[in-house]
A and B are shown apart, each in its own frame.
Chain A
Amino acid sequence: MFQKFYDLLIAGGAWLTILEGLWATVQISFFALVLGTLLGAEVCAMRRSKHKILKIPASIYIAVLRGSPVLMLLMLFYYVVFAKTDMDALVVAIITFGLNTAAYIAELMRSALDATDKGQVEAMRTLGFSGFAAFRYVTLPQAAEIAKPVYQSTIINLIQWTSVVGYVTITDLTRVINNISARTMQPLFMIIVGMIIYLGLSYLVTGIFALSDRIKKRKAGAKK
C-alpha cells in the first residue's frame, strides 16, 4: 500500500502535478465565489425592488442560470462568446461559475432577507433610525445568520461543480487525477486519492464556518 502510494504519487513527481490541479480548482472556486457573492447581492437587490424594470430581468436571470447545466454555460462562453478573444480558459471558467453561483446566492439572500422579522425593523424606525440604518444593524446581521448554512453548502457545491472545467482544457484537480490514472493504469487508487482531496476541501470550508461561529460566540461571551 505504502509502496503503491510512493510509486504512483511521489516517485514520478505526480504530487506536484496534483498540487497544480488543486491550485486551479481552488482559484476557480474562490474567485467565482467572490464574483458570485457580489453579483448575487446585486441581483437580489434588483429582484426585491419595487420597479418592474429591475425586478423582471433579475427574475429571468435567476430562472435561466439556475435552470441550465453549468457545463452548457461554460461551453457557450468558451466556444462561442469568448472564442475570438484570447482570454485565458481559467478566466472564462471563473466568469461562468461566478455568474451561475450569483443566481443561487441571489435566491438564498432573498429567502434569508424575507425570513427576518419586520417588527424589529419597525422598532428601529420608531426609535428614529433611517431605513438604511435599520437594514445595516438589524436586517443584515440577522439575514447573514440565517443564510450561513445554505451559503456553506453553496460553496461546497461550487467546488464540486468546478470538476467539469476539464472540458475546456483546464487542468484542474479532476483532470489531473484522470490523466495520472490513465497513464499509470491505476484508476481505482487515483480516484480514491482525488475524492479524498475534494473531501478535504469540503471539510476545510466547514471548518472555516465553524471557526467563525466559535469566534463570534467567544466575542459575545467576552462582553459579559
Chain B
Amino acid sequence: MSLIEVKGLCKSFGNLEVLKDVSFTVDEGEVVVIIGGSGCGKSVTLRSIELLEKPDKGQIFINGREITAKGADIDSIRREMGMVYQSFNLFSHMNIEENMILAPTRLLKMPREEAVAKAKDLLKQVGLLDKLHAMPQNLSGGQKQRVAIARCLMMEPKIMLFDEPTSALDPTMVGEVLATMRMLAKKGMTMIIVTHEMNFAKEIGSRIMFLADKGVYEQGTPAEIFDNPRKEKTIAFIKKLKFISMHIESRDFDLMELHGNITTFGERYGLGSKAAYRLQLCAEELIYEMFKCAEDEIDTDLSIEYSESEKCIRLNIDAKGKEYNPFALSEDDEPMGVMIVKRTSQNYSHSYVSGTNKISVEI
C-alpha cells in the first residue's frame, strides 16, 4: 500500500489556478524529488499533503487515512509526517532541547527524561550534541536546519517532507544539511523533497517529478528525467539547467546578468562560491580580451556547460573578427586577464575557423 496517495487534487488562489487534477502516489521507502520552475506549485503540493493548504477538490491519504476527509483527526494524521521548511521555523523562545522535547512530551506523553535522552541521541546523529542548551538565534543556518530535521524525527514520522531545505542557506552550509538528508534516505525514510540542488536530486531521488502545466508533467527515474527527458517542457527545463548561453553585441553588455546566471548555475551544481567566482572571472576577462579581435561590430557568443562525465565546466567563446589567439602571446605582452585565465583553468585552447576565434576553457 502507498504511504501517500493524492487523488484529483485541485487548488486555486482566487483566479489563479495552481494545481489541476493532480494525482500521484508515494510508496514506502521512496525518495521523490519534486522539481519545476518558480511558482509552478511545488510548495503548494507539499503543503497540501500536510493540509497547510486546503485543497479545493480531491483527496489525500496518508498511510491509508484520509486527511482531507470531513472530521478527520488531522492532528493525529500529521504526526505521521515531519515537515522541514526553507525558513527552519525553530521556536525562537525555546532552547534546542525544549524545541526537541516539546512535541513528544506534550503529544505522546513521553516522560521528560526519556525525551531528553532521545533528543541527545538525535542531536548526536546530526552532530549538534553540544548545542543542546543553545538558543536558535545563536546557531548558523545549517545548524538550525539540522535541528529542525532532528526535531521532526523526535516524533518518529513515517514520512518526511522537505520544502527547499537548503535555499535559505549560505553555500558553505548546504553540504551539512544534504548529508543529514542522505543519512535519512539511507535509513529507508520515505521522503518528498522540493529542491533546486539538481546534483543532489539526481543522487538521492528514486523518482523525479517534474511539475508544469498545473500538475505532474513528467516523472521517472533520475536518469530518465535528467538524461532522457521525453516531453517538450521537461527537455527545455533540463537543458536550461545544464547550459548558460549569451550573445554579446556591444561593449556594454549586461555583465551583471552574466554574473547572476553564473551564480545560479553554480548553486545548482553545488560548485561552491569559489569555483563560481573563478568562472565569473574567466568569462569576464575572456570576453573583454576578445573584444580586441573585433573589426567593426562585436559579435560574440558565450556558452557555459557542465560536463557530468568529466566533472568539469566548459566555457566556450566564439568571437567573430581577425585571428587573435590570446594564449599565444609572449609572457611580457600577456595581459593580466589572460594570465588569470591560464592560472585558474585546467585546459585552454584556441582555434580560428572561418572568421571566428573559438576559445574553449575547462575549469
Q: Give residues in A with beta carbon < 8 Å to B.
A: 117, 119-120, 122-130, 133, 137-138, 141-142, 145, 220, 223-224
A123 contacts B89, CB within 8 Å?
yes
Known: A127-B152, A128-B103. A142 touches B83 (CB 8 A): no
Instruction: Report the bound CA distance from A98 to B106 in whole Å.
Output: 37
A126 contacts B76, CB within 8 Å?
no
A117 contacts B52, CB within 8 Å?
no
B36 contact set on A, CB distance < 8 A: none
Instruction: Report the bound CA distance from A142 to B50 in whole Å.
Output: 24
B92-115 contact mask (Cβ, 8 Å, vs A): 1 or 0: 110101000011001100000000
Q: How far apart are A124's CB and chain B's nearest CB, in angstroms?
A: 8
**Can you give 30 contacting A-B residue pairs, CB < 8 Å?**
A117-B89, A117-B92, A120-B89, A120-B90, A120-B91, A122-B83, A124-B91, A125-B52, A125-B78, A126-B52, A126-B78, A126-B81, A126-B82, A127-B79, A127-B102, A127-B103, A127-B151, A128-B79, A128-B103, A128-B107, A129-B103, A129-B107, A130-B75, A137-B106, A138-B91, A138-B93, A142-B93, A220-B95, A223-B95, A223-B133
Known: A117-B89, A145-B93. A126 touches B50 (CB 8 A): yes
Known: A223-B133, A224-B133. A128 touches B76 (CB 8 A): yes
Instruction: Report the bound CA distance from A129 to B52 in whole Å.
Output: 13
Output the nearest chain B residue to A138 by Cβ-Cβ distance. Answer: B91
A122 contacts B89, CB within 8 Å?
yes
Q: A127-B151, A128-B107, A223-B95 known; 14 other A-B pairs, CB under 8 Å? A: A117-B92, A120-B89, A122-B52, A123-B83, A123-B85, A123-B89, A123-B90, A123-B148, A126-B50, A127-B82, A127-B107, A128-B79, A129-B106, A142-B93
A117 contact set on B, CB distance < 8 A: 89, 92
Q: How many A-B residue pairs have CB under 8 A?
A: 66
Known: A126-B82, A128-B103. A119 touches B75 (CB 8 A): no
B93 contacts A128, CB within 8 Å?
no
User: How many B residues face the partner with a CB closer than 8 A?
Assistant: 27
Known: A120-B91, A122-B89, A123-B91. A129 touches B133 (CB 8 A): no
Output the nearest chain A residue to B81 by Cβ-Cβ distance. Answer: A126
Instruction: Report the bound CA distance from A126 to B46 in whole Å.
Output: 12
B85 contacts A119, CB within 8 Å?
yes
Instruction: From A128, A138, A224, give the contact of B75 (CB < 8 A).
Output: A128
Does B129 make an interface contact (CB < 8 A)? no
A130 contact set on B, CB distance < 8 A: 75
Instruction: Report the bound CA distance from A128 to B73 in whole Å.
Output: 10
Does B155 make an interface contact (CB < 8 A)? yes
A120 contact set on B, CB distance < 8 A: 89-92
Instruction: From B92, B103, B106, give the contact of A142 (CB < 8 A).
Output: B92
B102 contact set on A, CB distance < 8 A: 127, 137
B201-226 contact mask (Cβ, 8 Å, vs A): 1 or 0: 00000000000000000000000000
Output the nearest chain A residue to B154 by Cβ-Cβ distance. Answer: A127
Does B87 make an interface contact (CB < 8 A)? yes
Instruction: Report the bound CA distance from A64 to B155 in whole Å.
Output: 49
A141 contact set on B, CB distance < 8 A: 93
Instruction: From B75, B85, B151, give the contact of A122 (CB < 8 A).
Output: B85
B85 contact set on A, CB distance < 8 A: 119, 122-123
Instruction: Report the bound CA distance from A127 to B52 in whole Å.
Output: 12
Q: How far apart are A115's CB and chain B's nearest CB, in angstroms?
A: 12
B170-183 contact mask (Cβ, 8 Å, vs A): 1 or 0: 00000000000000
B56-94 contact mask (Cβ, 8 Å, vs A): 1 or 0: 000000000000000000011011011101010111110
Output the nearest chain A residue to B134 by Cβ-Cβ distance. Answer: A224
Q: How far apart are A131's CB and chain B's nearest CB, in angstroms?
A: 9
A145 contact set on B, CB distance < 8 A: 93
A128 contact set on B, CB distance < 8 A: 75-76, 78-79, 103, 107, 155
Known: A119-B89, A120-B92, A142-B92. A126 touches B107 (CB 8 A): no
